[in-house]
């Protein structure tokens, strides 16, 4: 990996970055990390692309609602008519114009359609009201003797009417108003769920002085939420008096009812109904035409939407990358730095040359390799077969640069250890068929939009393939297929022809592969297989840990630490092998001895086979003593005494040798201090030259670090080595015991498989005839479903996680430093690509393995008086944790600029010279928070008062998106006033400079435009002191309110945290620690 520096002319930088994005081998560095996002060079271009992306997402949403499939990207790209390298600003303006025209037309059609739909719904409701009211009057005129008054009762549960309703729309015909028709009435519709409430409220409000009847409308109406259906009732309420009728109308409207005017005269009602029916027909025709026009417009959009989406995504990547560069407007060049694989440097040079030729630039881009002491990123080259295994290892941690990559060995060891726990030929075949199908159709599946769970399985298809293959192999070893055994060869045992308890007799030959099938029918089968699998687990565990320790050899040799091999690695190996290596040897020896062998006289040649667990225990409790009755081999006591002493010697060896070696190396280097100082001074001078060219303080700081280095403390080294030694010695014991999970899960899998077989298929084998056939069919279906979901999926997932643990902890802790960071180059490869997407999921799974609920997300409010550094800290949070910032001022400007309904209200308030109502601000922020759904966010600029804080907190809790952290910044007032005195602003762009810590390159001039800097009107001590006093008076009650609340994410911790410091650099580490300690998933 090489650190490269690129000098690119301004006219070809866009094309150069595009070519490098297509190449995908350069990871760029941010050359001004302290700059806020709005201070970047291409912030206006990013905003323009954000607007284009918003329109693309709007159009995609409309296509999804209409179920219109977009043209695939491969066939849609040629429609743009331009390649990546030939995209000009004019071309992007044309695309932006097209997007705006399409989005505006669709939005206008949607608005017209919604308006027509709403009006059509009103006409439909009016139709039902007129019809049912007419039925009501007709029934009352023909049968006046059935008319009754409402009962005069104040009891809450007394029915309002003697006859209230009947099912269906005929219900109005079953009751009638008073016999005299001089009463006035109110007719309308209301949501069926509100009907009972309306009855109760009217009864109590009017004290029973009304007559009410209603009927259900069977037709459903579109609700306020998409795809929601609302059912309504028609109601007619008779009452007397203008005041009473007005109260009825007010109550009905307040509960969402829609009122309609219905004439008492029959001929007028008929004419009104005829008019309504004609208007309904007209509206339906217009709706059909509007829908057809909208669909035609969306079909045009579908032809190019994939290409537009891809184009906007790429352009945002390009301009986001260009914002990392150093801009030199005087030289009309941009300077970039980044990491690239050394073998790909010629390809990078060729890409730069292509960009220069495509743009016709007069000056070529220049690439040079920089010498550096920085640690490069780790680049693990993978393919579709190995990337899944590499992602498993990366989830534990990224390898240190040029460290031995254990992902290579995990290709074999991971599926093998899984198969030891999952060994069954039948289950292995099912896994193999599933993975083989995905591999066979992988090209087709890559082009298919899969759900998240399916796509994760597809990403790990080669892992599952090998797990299935190894499960078949271990199934042969266990001679197990769906809990049954296979008789492929002649058994090595025979049963005597006797009655009663029998003992099998050997036939003189051994079953060639795996367990003899005779064991499956034996009563001591479980005893034998338990012993076999337990010992096998110990052998495999010690073998893997030994191999992991030996991987330190190439690491030490490569990093020129050969002396560490004898100082640390050798005693570690001797310690492990003298205890547990000896145990493995005794296991193999015990397997190799025929304990039942006898001499010519029939006497046993050996004692009873000794228990190895007791042997290991007494090796520590009674060193040098072995009971002759349980002796395994001659001289066993002496051998065990020697191995135990060797293990004890290795402990001080590990404790002392490495610290002493490091101390001597430090003393040796100290003897060449003069030479080292001279070289360091040259580095400082060179860094100063770089600082003059680029105007950066980082170069001098890096040189200072190189000159002085980290101070050597022998005490710290000794303490670290003591901890490491204790951890290794205890880990050897606990890790060896941890490998017994191989035996435990293998036993559980076999027993569960046998239980499923015995409880399902085995029970129906004795049945015959039609009943037997049907029972067999159902039993097989039940057995197969349980096998798939319990044994293959649930047990498979369990074995997968245990194999993951063995690789991460038991093996990885022996050699894997994992102190690197990943190589993440600029690439245009689709983010939705299954491999890239789920590699990131697996890499971060160690921190995000469990779902993070709404109360555990970072939903943060940053509070601080003007000049306290809120803007700087907010930008750092956004950059480090990718947390979007919700700014009340920006939301208000967006709504007023786009003339939305809220924007119109805000504009009216501003023109009137009034303060913005809390309800309006709450609605602005609430809408944005609802759009963010369950993601993280940082709130700035709202709330400012305790009333606003209470309103915000209650609203967020009702939406299940509560605030989880409030940070109050405490900065001394004299520091803030000094910042104000030193602050200068470029008014046109909003860039802010400070003479103390962020001065302009040229005094008084903007770095990018060269235009003069100015003082803002309120940047004076008197004005600013008033602003600070006003801030404290306004926000202190709000801070006290938040201080009294505990955090939803951590009930034992307060919601509000106070952070103090004189500068943002002092506060930032405190803020970072607070965030990462409370929200651990953000620390990865």
Residues tagged active-site: 870, 944, 983, 1016, 1027
Answer whether 967's CB lies under 8 Å from 953's CB.
no
Number of other residues whose CB lies within 10 A of the CB of residue 428: 25
Task: Give the up-direction half-sphere exposure of residue 583: CA atoms within 13 A in the CB hemisphere.
Answer: 28
| Secondary structure element (H or E) that encloses residue 312, with its range | helix 266-322
Distances (CA, A) of 767 to 496, 785, 866, 875: 31, 22, 85, 74
Phi and psi of 1008, rounded to 5°? -90, -40
Treating both helix axes as pointing N-terminal to C-terminal, what angle do 13-23 and 266-322 enclose, rounded to 10 degrees?
A: 90
Best CA proximity match to 1017, nearest among 989, 971, 980: 980
Q: How far apart are CA 445 and CA 820, in angstroms?
A: 34
- Residues of 835-870 as b/e, b for ≥16 C-beta within 10 angstroms? beebbebbbebeeeeeeeebbbbbbbbbbbbebbbb
Best CA proximity match to 938, nearest among 1033, 871, 1028, 995: 871
Number of other residues whose CB lies within 10 A of the CB of residue 818: 18
Q: How far apart are CA 71 and CA 305, in angstroms?
A: 8
Phi and psi of 1005, rounded to 5°? -125, 145
Treating both helix axes as pointing N-terminal to C-terminal, what angle do 673-694 and 698-708 enclose, rounded to 10 degrees?
A: 180
Q: How far apart are CA 481 and CA 760, in angstroms?
A: 16
Q: How far apart are CA 814 and CA 549, in angstroms?
A: 5
Q: How far apart are CA 531 and CA 514, in angstroms?
A: 15
Phi and psi of 631, rounded to 5°? -70, 135
Answer whether 1024's CB lies under 8 Å from 1018's CB.
yes
Answer whether 236's CB lies under 8 Å from 165's CB.
no
Q: How far apart are CA 116 and CA 122, in angstroms?
A: 10
Answer whether 964's CB lies under 8 Å from 1047's CB.
yes
What is the 8-class DSSP label of residue 221?
E
CB within 8 Å of 215: residues ≥ 6 apart: 132, 165, 166, 168, 169, 170, 171, 172, 233, 234
Best CA proximity match to 52, nearest among 94, 108, 105: 94
Q: Any idea how long the chain is? A: 1084
CB within 8 Å of 1020: residues ≥ 6 apart: 980
User: Quick one: CA torsion of 1025, 1027, 1033, 1035, rounded to 10 degrees?
Assistant: -130
3-state secondary structure of 372: coil
Distance of CA 854 to the CA centre of its chain: 13
Burial class (CB in 10 A: 0-12, 13-18, 19+), 145: exposed
Distances (CA, A) of 787 to 384, 463, 478, 753, 755: 30, 20, 19, 8, 11
Write out the E strands in 977-1035: 983-986, 991-994
CB within 8 Å of 621: residues ≥ 6 apart: none
| Secondary structure element (H or E) that encloses residue 874, with its range | helix 870-881
């Amino acid at each position: 990996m090489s650190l490269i520096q690129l000098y690119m002319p301004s006219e070809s930088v866009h094309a150069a970055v595009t070519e490098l994005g297509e190449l995908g081998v350069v990871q760029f560095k941010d050359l001004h990390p302290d700059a806020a996002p709005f201070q970047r060079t291409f912030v206006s271009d990013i905003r323009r692309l954000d607007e284009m992306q918003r329109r693309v997402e709007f159009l995609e949403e409309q296509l999804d609602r209409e179920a219109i499939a977009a043209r695939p990207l491969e066939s849609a790209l040629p429609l743009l008519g331009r390649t990546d390298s030939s995209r000009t600003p004019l071309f992007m303006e044309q695309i932006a114009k097209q997007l705006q025209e399409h989005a505006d037309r669709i939005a206008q059609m949607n608005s017209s359609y919604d308006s027509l739909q709403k009006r059509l719904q009103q006409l439909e409701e009016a139709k039902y009201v007129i019809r049912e009211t007419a039925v009501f009057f007709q029934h009352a005129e023909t049968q006046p003797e059935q008319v009754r008054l409402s009962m005069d009762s104040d009891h809450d549960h007394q029915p309002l009417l003697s006859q209230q309703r009947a099912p269906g729309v005929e219900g109005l015909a079953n009751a009638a108003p008073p016999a005299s028709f001089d009463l006035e009435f109110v007719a309308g519709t209301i949501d069926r769920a509100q009907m009972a409430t309306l009855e109760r409220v009217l009864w109590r409000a009017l004290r029973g002085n009304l007559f009410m009847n209603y009927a259900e409308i069977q037709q459903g109406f579109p609700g306020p939420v998409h795809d929601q259906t609302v059912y309504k009732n028609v109601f007619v309420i008779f009452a007397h008096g203008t005041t009473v009728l007005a109260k009825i109308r007010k109550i009905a409207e307040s509960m969402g009812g829609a009122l309609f005017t219905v004439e008492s005269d029959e001929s007028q009602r008929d004419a009104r109904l005829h008019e309504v029916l004609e208007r309904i027909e007209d509206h339906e025709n217009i709706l059909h035409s509007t829908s057809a026009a909208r669909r035609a417009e969306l079909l045009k959009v579908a032809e190019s939407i994939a290409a537009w989406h891809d184009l906007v995504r790429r352009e945002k990547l390009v301009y986001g990358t260009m914002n990392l560069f150093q801009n030199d407007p005087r030289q009309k060049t941009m300077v970039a730095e980044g990491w690239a694989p050394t073998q790909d440097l010629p390809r990078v040079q060729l890409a730069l040359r292509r960009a220069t030729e495509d743009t016709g630039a007069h000056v070529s881009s220049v690439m040079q390799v920089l010498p550096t002491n920085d640690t490069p990123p780790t680049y693990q080259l993978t393919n579709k077969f190995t990337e899944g295994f590499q992602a498993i290892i990366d989830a534990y941690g990224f390898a240190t640069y040029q460290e031995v990559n254990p992902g290579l060995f995990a290709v074999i060891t991971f599926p093998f250890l899984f198969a030891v726990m999952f060994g069954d030929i039948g289950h292995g075949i099912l896994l193999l068929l599933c993975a083989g199908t995905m591999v066979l159709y992988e090209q087709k599946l890559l082009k298919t939009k899969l759900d998240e769970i399916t796509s994760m399985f597809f990403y790990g298809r080669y892992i599952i393939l090998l797990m299935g293959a190894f499960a078949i192999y271990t199934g042969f070893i266990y001679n197990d297929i769906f809990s049954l055994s296979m008789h492929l060869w002649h058994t090595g045992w025979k049963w005597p022809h006797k009655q009663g308890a029998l003992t099998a007799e050997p036939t003189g030959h051994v079953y060639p592969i795996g367990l003899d099938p005779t064991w499956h029918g034996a009563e001591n089968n479980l005893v034998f297989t338990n012993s076999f699998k337990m010992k096998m687990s110990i052998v495999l565990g010690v073998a893997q840990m030994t191999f992991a320790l030996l991987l330190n050899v190439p690491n030490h040799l490569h990093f020129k630490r050969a002396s560490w091999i004898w100082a640390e690695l050798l005693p570690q190996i001797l310690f492990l092998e003298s205890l547990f290596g000896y145990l493995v040897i005794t296991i193999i020896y015990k397997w190799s001895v025929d304990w039942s062998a006898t001499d010519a006289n029939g006497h046993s040649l050996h004692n009873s086979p000794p228990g190895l667990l007791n042997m290991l225990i007494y090796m520590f409790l009674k060193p040098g003593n072995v009971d002759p009755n349980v002796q395994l081999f001659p001289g066993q006591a002496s051998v065990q005494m020697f191995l135990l002493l060797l293990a004890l010697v290795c402990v001080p060896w590990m404790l002392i040798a490495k610290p002493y070696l490091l101390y001597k190396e430090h003393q040796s280097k100290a003897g060449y201090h003069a030479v080292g100082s001279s070289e360091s001074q040259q580095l400082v001078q060179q860094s100063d030259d770089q600082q003059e060219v680029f105007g950066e303080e980082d170069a001098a700081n890096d040189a200072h670090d190189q000159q002085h280095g980290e101070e050597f403390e022998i005490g710290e080294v000794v303490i670290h080595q003591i901890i490491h030694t204790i951890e290794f010695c205890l880990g050897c014991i606990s890790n060896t015991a941890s490998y017994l999970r191989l035996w435990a899960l293998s036993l559980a899998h076999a027993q569960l498989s046998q239980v499923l077989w015995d409880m399902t298929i085995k029970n129906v084998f004795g049945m015959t005839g039609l009943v037997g056939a049907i029972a067999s069919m159902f039993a097989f279906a039940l057995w197969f479903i349980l096998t798939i979901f319990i044994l293959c999926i649930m047990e498979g997932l369990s074995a997968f996680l245990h194999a993951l643990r063995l690789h991460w902890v038991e093996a990885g802790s022996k050699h894997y430093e994992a102190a690197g960071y990943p190589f993440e180059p600029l690439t245009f490869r689709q983010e939705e690509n299954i491999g890239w997407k789920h590699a990131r999921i697996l890499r971060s799974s160690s921190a995000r393995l469990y779902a993070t609920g709404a109360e555990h997300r970072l939903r943060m409010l940053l509070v601080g008086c003007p000049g306290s550094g809120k803007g700087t800290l907010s930008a750092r949070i956004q950059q480090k944790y990718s947390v979007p910032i919700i700014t009340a001022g920006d939301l208000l400007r967006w709504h007023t600029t786009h003339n939305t309904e809220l924007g119109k209200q805000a504009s009216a308030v501003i023109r009137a010279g009034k303060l913005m109502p809390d309800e309006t601000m709450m609605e602005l922020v609430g809408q944005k928070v609802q759009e963010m759904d369950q993601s993280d966010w940082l709130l700035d600029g709202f709330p400012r008062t305790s009333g606003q804080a209470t309103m915000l907190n209650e609203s967020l809790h009702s939406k299940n998106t509560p605030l989880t952290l409030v940070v109050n910044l405490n900065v001394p007032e004299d520091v803030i006033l000094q910042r104000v005195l030193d602050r200068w602003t470029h008014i046109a762009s909003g860039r802010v400079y400070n003479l103390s810590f962020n001065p302009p390159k040229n005094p008084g001039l903007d770095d990018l435009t060269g235009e003069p800097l100015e003082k803002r009107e309120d940047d004076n001590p008197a004005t600013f002191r008033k602003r600070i006093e006003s801030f404290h008076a306004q926000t202190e009650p709000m801070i006290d309110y938040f201080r009294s609340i505990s955090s939803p994410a951590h009930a034992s911790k307060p919601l509000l945290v106070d952070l103090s410091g004189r500068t943002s650099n002092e506060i930032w580490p405190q803020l970072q620690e607070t965030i990462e300690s409370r929200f651990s998933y953000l620390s990865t």
